[in-house]
Structure 1
């Protein structure tokens, strides 16, 4: 294999071209009889799906979608659990040159409505998600042009099913669209504390960044049984649980079941997983139940992303699994760009001769250059100085983010005025060897059980309750989840803050925003702490509970 720098150039030459076709790159170019993914049910029953099956099913579905009016550039949203149906729906979307918009199945109608646009021609949903798309206060009549469900029969008049739509298109093959490296093929959404989620268009050339992390960060090989436990409707699960394995032609597992550490161990053992990528919550949960490793589990690579793992978990994993967990750092807008690579060649290139401390994020991965800027000047800070973590766009050939959809002000805030540096919004330090150390996050986003939760969305839901005058949402440290969502609420006159009201507030968040984001801890206060400018000081609220 070429050295990492040359390999990055080769991938860019393949993926950032006018003739780039996502469906061809992720599916059609691979041998038809090669296994693409293995669907695993909650009962651990498994079914292999080949690239040939994905090609045939997605081609027929694409023809059916085209008959429903889906064209290149349109948005196609999915609310589908991980597995073959999601892969087929995404590939069909890409065959048409359309844009895949993944929606978490935990979302309520208000969160769904914010992520749909007038260009959303079709929504593919599991049967148990269909009711969220019915007309109502958040989704007025006509908000969704067409709904396609994954079950055997339509659930509403006018709906179609995946199988029915594919059958209708089986006789009209669709040529995989060549959209070029600069065209978006995915629209992700990212959250913060200052407002609702912002759209992140992912261009086709980002495939080079995803492939580079798959190879150098995760070190997935053709002999691996690879499993990324993250939800493929979120960035890490989509980029590296669905897209990058298909791109590289590697088999991956898709477990359609709720999280359970015992089930994770069963999957590792029964399916012989050798390369595991998971959120820190998974490792913390395994540590709580696992003291010695069953002999049938033989994982050679462990990776984690989303937030730094503590030294205690890292030490436990090395003792139990016999291999280290490699921490990786990135964002929805970047993919993974910093970390401790599993691939020895990448480690040799990026390490600059010094072993980082256990609390380090690691160094920039191949194709990236990261650094720390001064707190008040757009210049690199000296080693050891606290500042803003950024990505050097001029020396990062894999950089692909150019801006949020319809949010120019938010885009400008992400870059220095000269465009040289992308600002992650995180703060930290850098040592002389190039190792980065995370210190704090600027946007107050809460990282809980692998989800990135914006306080704004939860606060907006809480304020819909008639008893609530003000609300502040923040994260509290938790040994398993990383952080738990917490809220401090100021009530209106005459309202009583008791356990019943607290449960009502949790329920309104579940039903008005998302079931994964409800506040586990709720306190009531007469007022919220604020800065002289009136901004809520969430850090003070969190400190009161520690």
Structure 2
């Protein structure tokens, strides 16, 4: 294998050029007969789309969009379930040199209104999402311009359909626009602990970072059946369920149905998935459901991202699947930059299941002192940061129209990007996560990371999932609280709550036990699967 660091630089040299064209890189350069995407419907049947079909359909759709006035640099929003239509629409936007603005179908009008870029040229949506775009108290009339739906007929006067736009442009497909490595091709959003979501322009040169993770982090190979269960309208699903597999010329699966453990197992078996990437909640739900592994399921690689997976789930997966789950760490602003690599030349059995792993090729990450911008010594608690100067794959330069938020992400000299997470590193360079800066609990002068308490709680056999957060307290500032989801057959109550407190006292620290414990059927989560601790802090105790 070529030197991974050199390979990352080679990809950057390819994608960060004035001639870089997203449609060419993700589609047109690949063999036309190769399958690009398999859409799996609710009946679990698969429908293949080849790279040739993707090229032809996206070229025709791009011509139809151009007739509506969409051009280079314009924003086109999509609110579409995982599907062939989403892939074709995104490629059409990139073929025009436009910017794709993905919106989760779970969004309400207020969230849509905030995320729409000023002057969004077109919104593509599923038919069942169209009503959300009607003017109302949360969506001003001037926020939405042109709309194209994925169904067979327009739903409002002035609407178009994707099929109609494709048909209109079939006779005059447009060439793939060359926009260059600095041009944005995606506009993502990330929610902070305070204030509205911030917009993140993703430049074309970020493709190098996405390709490196696809190769080294996930280890997707040509004959893999690869499935990323994340929604491709969110960062992990878009970066690595749509963009990176197309960039590498691989096949990717999109499931157009709600995800539950039984459905996941059916997809793994029927479609003979060999490489799976999923949020921790998928693995945890599988653990609660799966008793024995069907012999038809033969996974080669397992990856997890979004939040720490936990030693118990890692051990369970290794026992059941015979394959280690490799935990990976990143952010919307970075992609994936740290983890336990799956590539065989880089993979090694984690020495410590609690470790996030080390920086992936093309990145350097470390831990800074809590009160200064110097690197902390091994084992010392501090702020997890990315070394900008030593990370050639670093692409984030700032939020759109948010200079103060951007400045808060970097040290004054620009040397370090501050993730907002805290933790430690060992002498080998592996990182250990403690908490988000804005999730840390301050009680009686102590700073407590939720992850540490959650890890302790998960060691109790009655606990399936746990979320720990702070609740206001006049005397102590905050009290540690926990919401717990129990395993099947377990019953909550005062006795179990006291047992759980004792587990935390004995397994982590005597001052960190949760003073308040509630039991719930499930934890509130974002569409990407992350626990919404802020919601629990308001309503969970």
**Which band: TM-score by shorter chain?**
0.7 to 0.9
Give the CA deviation at 1:516: 9.1
Describe the SS at the equivalent of 2:336: strand
The structure-2 alpha-carbon separation of the partners of 1:285 and 1:98, relative to structure 1 and needing over 3 Å to count, comes to same
SS in 1 for 2:143: coil
- Provide the aligned length of Structure 1 versus Structure 2: 470
Partner residue, 1:229: 229
Matches for 1:23-34 after TM superposition, within 5 Å = 23-34=23-34
1:92-491 equivalences under 5 Å are 92-347=92-347, 355-444=350-439, 476=483, 478=485
Pick closer, same or farther for the CA change 1:391–1:476 going to 2, 3 Å. farther
> What is the CA-CA distance between 1:42 and the residue it aligns to?
1.2
The CA deviation at 1:6 is 1.5
When structure 1 is superposed on structure 2, of 166-175 and 274-283 the one drifting more is 166-175
Q: Could you list the runs of 5+ residues in structure 1 that have no partner in the other structure?
A: 349-353, 448-454, 456-473, 481-508, 524-537
Against the structure 1 CA distance between its residues 347 and 24, is the aligned structure 2 distance closer, same or farther, given a 3 Å change threshold?
same
CA contact (8 A) 2:189 2:197 kept: yes
Change (3 A) 1:477 1:360: farther
Residues 306, 530 of structure 2: 8 Å contact kept: no
Distance 1:518 1:431 in 2: 27
Give how far 1:346 is off: 2.9
Deviation digits for residues 335-371 of structure 1, max 9, x if unmatched?
Answer: 00000000022347xxxxx943110000000000000
Report the Cα distance in structure 2 between the residues aligned to 1:242 and 1:374, rounded to whole angstroms: 37
Matched with 2:51 is: 51
Contact 1:99 1:185 in 2 (8 A): yes
- Unpaired segments ≥5 residues, structure 2: 441-449, 452-468, 470-480, 488-523
Instruction: Decide whether aligned partners of structure 1 residues 20 and 393 sit closer, same or farther in structure 2, where only a CA change above 3 A counts.
Output: same
- How far apart, in 1, do the equivalents of 2:219 and 2:169 lie? 38
In 2, are the aligned partners of 1:303 and 1:326 still within 8 Å (CA)? yes
Which position in structure 2 is the counterpart of 1:531? none
Q: Secondary structure at the match of 1:101?
A: strand
Distance 1:160 1:47 in 2: 25
Q: Distance in 1 between matches of 2:531 and 2:151?
A: 29
User: For residue 62 of structure 2, what is the aligned residue in structure 1?
Assistant: 62
Residues 46-92 of structure 1: per-residue CA shift (max 9 Å, x gap) = 11110011101100110111110111111100000001100000000
Report the alpha carbon displacement of residue 479 of structure 1 after superposing the two structures with TM.
Answer: 7.0
Separation of aligned partners in 1, 2:90 and 2:351: 39
Cα gap change, 1:357 to 1:25, in 2 (>3 Å): same
Q: In 2 relative to 1, CA 517–479 (structure 1 residues): closer, same or farther, beyond 3 Å?
A: same
> What secondary structure is seen at the aligned counterpart in 2 of 1:410?
helix
8 Å Cα contact 1:415-1:421 kept in structure 2: yes
Look up the SS of the partner of 1:56 in the other structure: helix
Distance 1:242 1:340, change over 3 A: same
Quick one: distance in 1 between partners of 2:147 and 2:291? 47
Q: Is the deviation greater in 437-446 or in 207-216?
A: 437-446
Let me know the Cα RMSD of the aligned residues.
2.6
Q: Distance in 2 between matches of 1:138 and 1:150?
A: 24
Change (3 A) 1:197 1:100: same
**Residues 108 and 515, structure 1, Cα contact 8 Å, conserved in 2:** no
Structure 1 equivalent of residue 477 of structure 2:
none
Residues 103 and 233 of structure 1 are in contact (CA less than 8 Å); yes or no, is this contact kept in structure 2?
yes
3-state secondary structure, aligned to 1:362: strand
Report which structure shows greater RCO (CA 8 Å, sep ≥6): 1
**Partners of 1:388 and 1:425 within 8 A in 2:** yes
> Cα deviations across residues 372-415 of structure 1 (Å, max 9, x unaligned)?
00000000000000000000000000000000011000000000
Question: Is the CA contact 1:426–1:441 (under 8 Å) kept in the aligned structure 2?
Answer: yes
- Aligned partner of 2:459 in structure 1 is none
Deviation of 1:478 (Å): 4.8
User: Secondary structure in 2 aligned to 1:398?
Assistant: coil
Deviation at 1:475, TM superposition (A): 8.3
In the alignment, the residues of structure 1 paired with residue 401 and residue 486 of structure 2 have an alpha-carbon distance, to the nearest angstrom, of: 38
Contact preservation (8 Å) 1:194, 1:443: no
Could you list the per-position Cα deviations for residues 228-274 of structure 1 after superposition, in whole angstroms to 9, with x for gaps in the alignment?
00000000000000000000000111111001110100110111100
